[in-house]
Chain A
Amino acid sequence: MRFLVLVVKSAFRNRLRTLLTSLGVAIALVAFLFLRTFIAAWYAGVDGAASDRLFARNKTSITFPLPLAYVDKIKNIPGVSGVGYEDWFGGYYKDPKNFFAKFAADDNVFDLFPEAIVDSAEMKAYKEDKQGAMVGKYLADKYGWKIGDRITLTGDIYPGDWELNIRAIYTSNAKTFDVQTMFFHWTMLNDRMVESRKNQVGLIAIRVNDPSKSTTVAAAVDELFANSPWETRTESEKAFQLSIISMSSALIGAIQIISGVVLLILMLILANTLAMTTRERTTEYAVMRAIGYRPNHIIAFVLGEGFVIAATGALLGVGLATPVLKFFSEIFQRQMAAFLGSFELDPKVIAVAVSFVLGGGMLSTALPAWRAGRLKIVDALRRVE
């Protein structure tokens, strides 16, 4: 107990320096947290992937369609318990800057996505209205949409104006499930297509009975359509999400490196401060050694001081993190809504960040601590600073 008191008191002896160092640690923590949350948001789709879901797309690339006829053919493959389909609509609402995912999907699209929660009356209304739209709660809140509102989308892949009636709002309890998407009826899209573009879908979702057989089923689907004009590539939802992420792998890699650099800077600041502190206190440590403290005690003092400063900084950082991240999440949501999941502070990420900070802090104090422990009493007392 006395040891703790001594460590804390000596840490705050030079209040200004400790405060500045803690602030530096806090800022590094906020930056680290931001970057890790950013990356976690990217991987949200992967984390939320269900083990019993597969996605089939055109083998050439996802920008090519598949015939609607494939859906029924896939239903008959052994091991398949459900099939759904959707088509990426693109387009925008009022302003190209308002970017969110929009899909023209089959009526039972949520059958394959049990994570989605919709009121059954709203779902019924959605199915009955050919021009109905189902939107995620986040979108409804952001644009102030209510059930019954009529909105207009401007298409780019499918040009023209598209009028929809908001009939249902969905939410989810699963943190990784995207509540920023708009769905409307594929039939509405198909009706307006020219003959050459009719009866095509972009993505087919498949549910399997037995997750352990998913690779077999995927292979069976691809086998069925091999050598046809539209070959498929079927993969687990996780693999599918990973393939999208892998396109930005360089960017993600750069951000990972930067988050490592942040830790490095943090350690430099802390090491710098502690080196200064231990140098100033050489005489004191010598006196302590002289009255009977062992080198281990000295090392413990220094490490303890480093820990106290790092912990103060971590506390400060966690406090600062919420407003800073909230601010930046608003900005990034606008730019990248379709690619990122939710940009919220996850307690798990905070815990990881704090432990990294504390660990890095301890590591950086190791050298000054070790040097302080190795001090020869005689040499130290001789040095008058």
Chain B
Amino acid sequence: MISKIVTILLGAALGAVLIAIVAGLTVSLLVIGVLALTMLVRRDWVPVVYNVRSLMVRGWTTGVTAMGLALVVFVFATVLMLSRGIQKTLASTGATENAHIIRKGAQTEIQSGVQPEHLRLLSAAPETAIGKDGKPLAAGELAVLIFALKADATSGSDGANVLVRGVSEKSIELHPPTRVEGRMFKPGTSEIVIGKGLLGRFKGARLNESMQFARRKWQVVGVMDQGGSGFDSEIWGDLEQFEDAFQRRPSFSAITLRLRDKDAISALEARLQSDPMLNTLVVKREVDYWAAQSEQFATFVKFLGIFVAVIFSFAAILGAMITMYAQVAARTQEIGTLRVLGFRRRSVLVSFVIESVLLALASGGIGLACASGMQLVSFSTMNFQSLSEVSFQFTLTPAIFVASMMFAGLMGYAGGLLPALRASRMPITQATRGG
């Protein structure tokens, strides 16, 4: 009980300190911003080249601090890129013209079961588009998870749940791959196609090799490119074959259909609710279904990453602060000289703040450059919501670029503020004497 109280008190104290710091920084930022603007007007800037040269003269300390700052920006940017990549991968899966129907209450297709009767009814619905062959463009799909051993597995426990989707010709037409290296599987056979995100990562997941699951060997005849979406982490095969192998006949997991027009979705929703034969089902646009699948995981990654980045940033700010204090201490005579020449306290203050921010921005640039290199890497892990393995790319967006640079700038500002204040408040006589 006591420990709980102590924890709460400590937590409150910590929270109060943090709030005070943030408030102080914001206020001071505004004040200094105004000061800087007035200086701009009256033209008493200390030349920026002085700051740049000073940084370069003390190369070793500058370098070490820059490395620390760059590292923090790298982590920050990478995490945001991963979170964005997760959302992009899963949110870009499917088409807005497609509707995805699963059983009501199921959180994911894997938990869902729909019957052939449902497919018949929905195919006949007016909201469903008619395909090129004159038949309704609707298809049932079976989605199950298999435990696949990783390619470099040393034991039978080193594997992951991979999503296997039983599809028919119509399904392929509904969400077609952009490219297939090799060819699409032949219906009625034990042939399968794997998404490019799985290539080489699991035993047998290569062109012309075979994967073993559900007591059968399945030949990989193609590797499909689904544009980096969720389908790139799936194995596709013949629906009928999978229904047998996984003993799911006669039910499917989900129904995908092409909407007649974009607005047909609300009519379809109404139909599902009112028809007693269909009201155990629920419909979403295909893209919305996939976006919902990634929500929790993307949030988790973002949260974890930002927490880590914030903690790192405190450390980096301290590092910057230490460096700037040392800079100020070493340059007391220069500061004195500047004051003697006629620069006012505020010019010195702004000058040192700018120096710190410059250092941080340069480090931020380096960190971002390294982070953008991460776009060449793909990250595969289990999505907690769907329990299946998905492959994500790191995606750098202009928003992330700006956010990272601002983060860097803020770190530089926070680190440089107090030392700059000290520099500006040094009495001229003391400064020229050497501090």
Using a CB–CB distance below 8 Å, which chain A residues touch chain B?
16-17, 20-21, 23-24, 27-28, 30-31, 34-35, 59-64, 90, 96, 154-157, 159-160, 227, 229, 231, 233, 235, 239-240, 242-243, 246-251, 254-255, 258, 261-262, 264-266, 268-269, 271-273, 275-276, 319-320, 322-324, 326-328, 331, 335-336, 339
Contact = CB atoms under 8 A, between A and B. Distances in A.
Given A243-B157, A247-B381, A262-B312, A323 B319 contact: no
B217 interface: no
Contact of B111 (A156, A229, A246): A156
5 contacts: A27-B315, A160-B105, A239-B157, A251-B381, A269-B318
B322 A269 contact: yes
A271 to B, nearest CB: 7
B302 to A, nearest CB: 12
B217 to A, nearest CB: 14
- The prevalent SS among residues of A at the interface is helix
Of B61, B64, B384, most buried by chain A (CB within 10 Å of CB) is B384
Given A265-B312, A322-B10, A275 B60 contact: yes
A240 to B, nearest CB: 7
B106 A268 contact: no
Given A227-B215, A249-B381, A251-B381, A264 B325 contact: no
Interface in B362-420: 379-382, 384, 387, 389
A250 B379 contact: yes
A251 B144 CA distance: 23
A155 B159 CA distance: 28
Interface stretch (B67-75, B117-125, B134-142, B350-358): B67-75
A24 B214 contact: no
A247 B381 CA distance: 6
6 smallest CB-CB distances across A and B, nearest first, come from A243-B157, A247-B382, A24-B318, A159-B105, A323-B11, A250-B381
Given A61-B144, A239-B156, A249-B381, A21 B64 contact: no
A269 B71 CA distance: 12
A354 to B, nearest CB: 17
- B interface residue count range (under 10 / 10 to 19 / 20 to 34 / 35 or more): 35 or more
Nearest to A23: B318
Interface stretch (B145-153, B168-176, B231-239, B336-344): B145-153
Interface string B409-433: 0000000000000000000000000
Given A61-B146, A261-B75, A243 B68 contact: no
A323 B11 CA distance: 5
Contacts of B181: none
Contacts of A239: 155-157
Contact of B314 (A27, A64, A159, A240): A27
B11 A326 contact: yes
A280 to B, nearest CB: 8
B14 A320 contact: yes
Given A61-B147, A64-B246, A243-B147, A31 B308 contact: yes
B54 interface: no
The interface centre, meaning the residue of B7, B110, B247, B304 with most chain A CB atoms within 10 A of its CB, is B304
